[in-house]
Amino acid sequence: MSSQASPTLSLKGIGASPGVAVGHAYILDRKRVRTPKLRLAEAEVDPERQRMRTALELSDQQLSDLKDQISRTEGPEHALILEAHRLMLHDPMFVDEVNRLIVEDRINAEWAVRRVARKLKHLFDNIPDEYFRERRSDVEYVADRVVRNLLGQVVDEEVSLPDHAVVVAHDLSPADAAMLVRGGQVAGFVTDLGGHTSHTAIVARARSTPAVLGAGRASEQISPGDLVALDGTRGIILVNPSEEQLALFQETMRRHQESEARALAAKDLPAQSTDGFRIRLVGNIEFPEELPSLLAHGAEGIGLYRTEFMFLDRKTPPSEEEQYRAYRQVLEAMDGRPVTIRTLDLGGDKVPGKGRHEKEPNPAMGLRAIRYCLSDRALFRVQLRALLRASVHGHLRVMFPLICGMSELREARSELEACRTELGRAGVPLGKRFQVGIMVETPSAALIADRLAQEADFFSIGTNDLIQYSLAIDRQNREVAYLYKPLHLSVLRSLRSIVTAAKDAGIPVSMCGEMAGDPIYALVLLALGFDELSMTAGQIPTVKNVLRQASREEATRLLATAMELTTAEEIERYVRTEMDKRFSSEG
């Protein structure tokens, strides 16, 4: 093994699945196939449409076969994404538009597919939610499959990976990611595209495989066989590291593995400080497939179950029965542990079957989340009825997103109670009354938290949006993303105010944003007095280790000193220095 075959290269991406890995690069070339562009004679139109039908049928059969394979080996939940791709193949927005271009513009099917895919991808550009923006890739995966079938090229080619391979690719489809992790040879993932909510990230986290995504031109800069060291927490990639760098990385990996092993061994122990302050550590999920990993890492419940995935890539919204089955599955799997389900957090232009809406100039502040649900009561009630029915099967908590004022909370609760009465009169079995909380993620909610705490059963702070709105920072804008500072004094004061309001009212307060799972902030959150922190499975062991090795008294002193400082840079430098002193051996 030569670590100096090529010059050492340092790359930075998005830490999408925590953990450290070292292995040799396996370059997976899944770049988009070149698309021929041809004009058709009139007599060629009908044969071209038939060629398109054949390619669609073949694509559908391939996805069905792949779904069956993955269901047998990985469980049915992994296959849900492929079912969404099958639905996309039959979507009139896709099929009818391709046929129209073939007939009216007289262009070949491959060209028509690419044009329609580009148009559909643009529909996702206006979405404030990162998870749903990532769905642009799904359109690309489906279009690429159809084009490859039109050209008679091989799709879903199985690859034989060496052990401890670091898979490097421009991008990975859900099929690629799910198939690759089956064999157990993947040490880590590096991709040019993607982010924290892409399918590769979801699969990697579900399998506890370190991943750095969105790494620019990594697939062009890394050569087959290069030694790659990656840190899936910090988003760092070292290619052909020096012996000294490699030794440091391997030491970090060793400490991380030891730390995780200790934490996993202690997974049933409480996250309790040395002076007895208890914090419940729970998990964030998008898909039920993430549940086994959460439980293996000691999650005491689910702090955020995003329900939007059920509304994705389909022609009509999910029925009450479909939603009920999905919620029931998660509640039963968690076996009495608390499950916090967030009601729909989408804008009206993303809800299937609702027709086209005008493109909003500022979608992050537009008609979305609870605002949209209260503007479409019928859609909202379907979800509320499903939740009420599912409450029989476990420990359910429901929370409403983007609450900005008391009127919204009262209206939402009123709808819930109306649905409860309606189902009760119909004799439908219902569980006992469950807690109904809100996400505190806007400055307005933070400022009136004392009033909201009088009528909410719990708070869950969504720090991603709270920080974005408080500091007027668009995290997706690279020009200003550096200003996103979780330790900004205004953010800390806001968090303290929200927690104080909750404590004064006697209701629990949780955090489910990215800040909750970063161990750097663990003592700050311990000092603030959070009852619960919700994060991804792989983050739980490290955060628990930090909490179990510190006292709340020393955490309170750390926070007090930090809040005497003024700039975000000063506060962050101080907190990081103190955390390094205490926990540098934790990896």
H or E segment to which residue 421 belongs: helix 406-425
* 100 Cα distance to chain centroid: 36
**Residues paired with 238 in a beta bridge:** 10, 229
Question: Which candidate in 199, 256, 393, 395 is catalytic?
Answer: 199
224 burial level (CB within 10 Å; 0-12, 13-18, 19+) = exposed
Alpha-carbon separation of residue 169 from 227, 462, 481 (angstroms): 15, 32, 25
* 542, 232 Cβ separation under 8 angstroms: no
Burial of residue 152 (number of CB atoms within 10 Å: 0-12, 13-18, 19+): exposed
Report the 10 Å Cβ neighbour count for 217.
10
Q: What does each C-alpha distance from 260 to 188, 220, 266, 537, 562 come to in angstroms?
A: 17, 33, 9, 11, 29
85 catalytic residue (yes or no): no
> Residue 556: which of 273, 249, 318 has the closest Cα?
273
* Torsion region of 216: left, alpha or beta (phi above 0 gives left; psi -120 to 50 gives alpha): left
Given 373, 404, 419, 512, the catalytic residue: 512
488 is catalytic: no
Quick count: other Cβ atoms within 10 Å of Cβ 459? 29
- The answer to whether the CB of 496 falls within 8 A of the CB of 528 is yes
Encode 37-69: b = buried (16+ Cβ within 10 Å), e = exposed.
eeebeeeeeeebeebbeebbebbbebbeebbeb
Q: Give the residue numbers marked as catalytic.
A: 199, 512
